[in-house]
Amino acid sequence: MGSSHLVIYVISDSIGETAEQVAKATVSQFNIEDYEVRRFPYINEKQQVFEILDEAKNEHAVIVFTIVVPELRKVLIEEAKILNIPCADVMTPILHAMESVLKIPAKEEPGLIRKLDERYFRKVEAIEFAVKYDDGKDARGIKQADIVLTGISRTSKTPLSMYLAHKNLKVANVPLVPEVLPPRELYEIPPKKIIGLTTNPMKLIEIRQERLKALGLKNEANYASMQRILEELDYAEGIMKKLGCPVIDVSSKAVEESAGIILEIFKDMGHKFSNGK
């Protein structure tokens, strides 16, 4: 290639990160240091292509691009050929290979991978939120949450919070215990943001006894007594009535089923959720 300064023009109808990574990986095979990468993101007009190529024609340049819109791609390839500028299409060969196997056309829509990345990071953020504001650890999360779950111990608050977090929803959960006043923040948010969780006392005593067994404790503990469970359920029912929030019984439902009911309740109230898609 000689000692001339190499300029790699990275052109993309999105941010151009994919093309730049490919360009850098390729140039690393040539043991040269005298090069630079110039990235041109969000190119969506022919005039922009002409202007970039007009600059590139005067340099020791190669073009690496990811453009999925056929018309714009065609202009770039044809104009680069006229100007005798080497041009590498990163995306199209892979698109064609996949189309031939899948038997469906590509969407030809710029920036889809970035949108997927954004959804992924929103999901991670929602999961971190659910962990941070689990079990009433920090009442400040109540006002920041999309959904607040409340109920007594072992009513699936944590697994429901995590399941809904995977739908990109920020969920806080607040335990209701007769000896502890609920946080004031619970009364300062709209009731339509809150879901009360209740369960069958017989089912709950069974769950709590299993929990005690797992912890190596005796079943006689007050935590798993019927009297204590009925007291907690009555207390929670009173709080939920005061809040005026919807209440669902989770005793005979899988987490997925309860989450589906919660999402339907919120949709009926006019909330619009991405549902993780």
* Structural domain contains residue 258: yes
* Structural domain contains residue 276: no
Asked whether residue 166 falls in the same domain as residue 194, the answer is yes
* Structural domain contains residue 191: yes
pLDDT digits (tens, 9 = 90+) for 18-50: 899 999 999 999 988 899 999 999 998 999 999
The sign of the CA dihedral 187, 159, 152, 258 is: positive
Could you tell me if 157 and 151 are in contact, meaning their C-beta atoms sit under 8 angstroms apart?
yes
* Structural domain contains residue 275: no
**Boundary of a domain, candidates 110, 141, 169:** 110
* Structural domain contains residue 277: no
Asked whether residue 264 falls in the same domain as residue 130, the answer is yes
Q: Which residues pair with 198 in a beta bridge?
A: 249
Average pLDDT along the chain = 89
Query: 272: pLDDT confidence band, cut at 50, 70 and 90?
Result: low
Asked whether residue 68 falls in the same domain as residue 154, the answer is no
Q: Which residues pair with 151 in a beta bridge?
A: 175, 197
How many domains are there within the chain? 2
**Boundary of a domain, candidates 110, 143, 166:** 110
Query: With 50 as the cut, is the pLDDT of residue 1 above it?
Result: no
Domain containing 240 — which CATH number?
A: 3.40.50
Rounded-to-integer distance, Cα 57 and Cα 50, Å: 11
Could you tell me if 14 and 116 are in contact, meaning their C-beta atoms sit under 8 angstroms apart?
no
* Structural domain contains residue 12: yes
Asked whether residue 122 falls in the same domain as residue 83, the answer is no
Asked whether residue 53 falls in the same domain as residue 37, the answer is yes
Domain span at residue 123 reads 116-268
Q: CA–CA distance from 159 to each of 170, 247, 275 (Å)?
A: 13, 17, 17
Asked whether residue 160 falls in the same domain as residue 56, the answer is no
| Chain-centroid distance, C-alpha 88 | 33
Q: What is the pTM of this model?
A: 0.60
Asked whether residue 132 falls in the same domain as residue 241, the answer is yes
Query: With 90 as the cut, is the pLDDT of residue 17 above it?
Result: no
Asked whether residue 234 falls in the same domain as residue 153, the answer is yes
* Structural domain contains residue 273: no
Q: Binding site for ADP: what residues are annotated?
A: 151-158
Asked whether residue 101 falls in the same domain as residue 153, the answer is no
Q: CA–CA distance from 1 to each of 6, 23, 34, 168 (Å)?
A: 9, 16, 11, 50
pLDDT digits (tens, 9 = 90+) for 152-181: 998 999 999 999 999 999 999 999 999 999
Asked whether residue 34 falls in the same domain as residue 94, the answer is yes
Helix axes 157-165, 112-132, angle to 10 degrees: 160
Q: Binding site: what residues are annotated?
A: 151-158
Asked whether residue 22 falls in the same domain as residue 159, the answer is no
Asked whether residue 242 falls in the same domain as residue 182, the answer is yes
pLDDT digits (tens, 9 = 90+) for 190-214: 999 999 999 999 989 888 888 888 8
**Boundary of a domain, candidates 110, 136, 167:** 110
